[in-house]
Amino acid sequence: MSASTGTTPSTGPRVDISALVRTRTRHPEAIAEAAARRVRRPLLNDAGRLMIVAADHPARGALGVGDRAFAMANRAELLERLCLALSRPGVDGVLATADILDDLLLLGALDGKVVMGSMNRGGLQGASFELDDRFTGHRAQDIERLRFDAGKLLLRIDYDDPGSLTTLESTARAIDDMAARRLPLFVEPFISRRTDEGRLRNDLSAEAVIKSIAISSGLGGTSAYTWLKLPVTENPDDMAQVMETSTLPAVLLGGEVGDDQDGAYEKWRGALQLPTVRGLVVGRSLLYPPDGDVAAAVDTAVGLL
């Protein structure tokens, strides 16, 4: 098995894994110290927009990009790609799990950036319990303690799975915990179902996305700090109607785009004109573009805003 993607960023810093491990073993408190001195910034940029690079996939065992099953398994390469993306003008911040954010803190890559902690990663990709998406990542108190700026959770609802009710309840409590601390929480909802082969699929029809928005918008004791993180529907022309479902601010989910990067950009461009859509949260398609040029992919996405 090879973890390499076969391509590496053309420019950007090289990560010294030995130095990171040395710090982790000898001075683990350095992570908290780096978090305490991190320079913070407002959530939105001066234009009222938000461009976030996502890298919380590995914690669910989702390491693949396209036909490369272990593209994200090389941590040094992933960190290098993240540092390059974060260095590009117009990139506001990063969404990741604790292990990756700790590395980025030690690398000094998070000053002046929005930092979003990923909260529930228990629904491992391909597992029989994938929909039992428990909160195994950042807690609200962790995000507050580390002076991070927001949290994110994944909410997949299967009408045929009674366990979805538990997921809904735990999501509501996470919304309450974050709101009590006046911290934004980005909720990524889907209506999901199992195929005949048992694989989990998210329904991206307009009807399903409308339902997911309506359900997630109503969770918790207040929606004051709730944001939505939403996919573009199968038919992008439906997005105007879909986004009429809620007044909550939203960002678009990048997701897997395959080899048609230009087509994905066009879908995002149209949806970004809608009044509740404030930005983009994109991960693998920018960090591992088909041509390997991370800087160009990120710059193009920033240009859409």
- CATH of residue 287: 3.20.20.70
The two tokens of residue 224 are 């004051």
* Percent over 70 (pLDDT), the chain: 94
Examine residue 251 and state whether it is found in any structural domain, yes or no: yes
Examine residue 1 and state whether it is found in any structural domain, yes or no: no
Beta strand residue intervals within 173-271, DSSP E: 185-194, 200-203, 226-230, 250-253
- Tokens 């991190």 — which residue? 38
User: What pLDDT does 67 receive?
Assistant: 82
Examine residue 295 and state whether it is found in any structural domain, yes or no: yes
Examine residue 250 and state whether it is found in any structural domain, yes or no: yes
Pairing of strands 277-282, 250-253: parallel
List, in sequence order, every residue forming a beta bridge with 227; answer none if it has no partner. 186
| pLDDT of 6 strictly over 50 | no
Q: What is the value of pTM for the model shown?
A: 0.93
- Average pLDDT score over the chain: 93
Under 8 Å between Cβ of 66 and 285: no
| pLDDT of 165 strictly over 80 | yes
Closest among 181, 249, 177, 176 to 219, alpha carbons compared: 176
Q: Which domain holds residue 152?
A: 17-304
Determine the Cα–Cα distance for residues 133 and 119; give it in Å rounded to an integer: 10
User: What pLDDT does 66 receive?
Assistant: 83
User: What pLDDT does 11 receive?
Assistant: 58
**Low-confidence winner among 35-39, 105-109, 129-133, 215-219 (lowest mean pLDDT):** 129-133
Which 8-state DSSP code applies to residue 54? E
DSSP secondary structure, 210-223, as one string:
HHHHHHHHT-SS--
Query: In degrees, to the nearest 5, what angle opens at C-alpha 280 toward C-alphas 218 and 274?
Result: 65
User: What is the pLDDT averaged over residues 109-118?
Assistant: 98
Query: Which class for 133: exposed (0-12), middle (13-18), buried (19 or more C-beta within 10 A)?
Result: buried
Examine residue 231 and state whether it is found in any structural domain, yes or no: yes
Please state the domain count of the chain: 1
Examine residue 191 and state whether it is found in any structural domain, yes or no: yes
User: What is the pLDDT averaged over residues 159-168?
Assistant: 93
Determine the Cα–Cα distance for residues 51 and 180; give it in Å rounded to an integer: 25
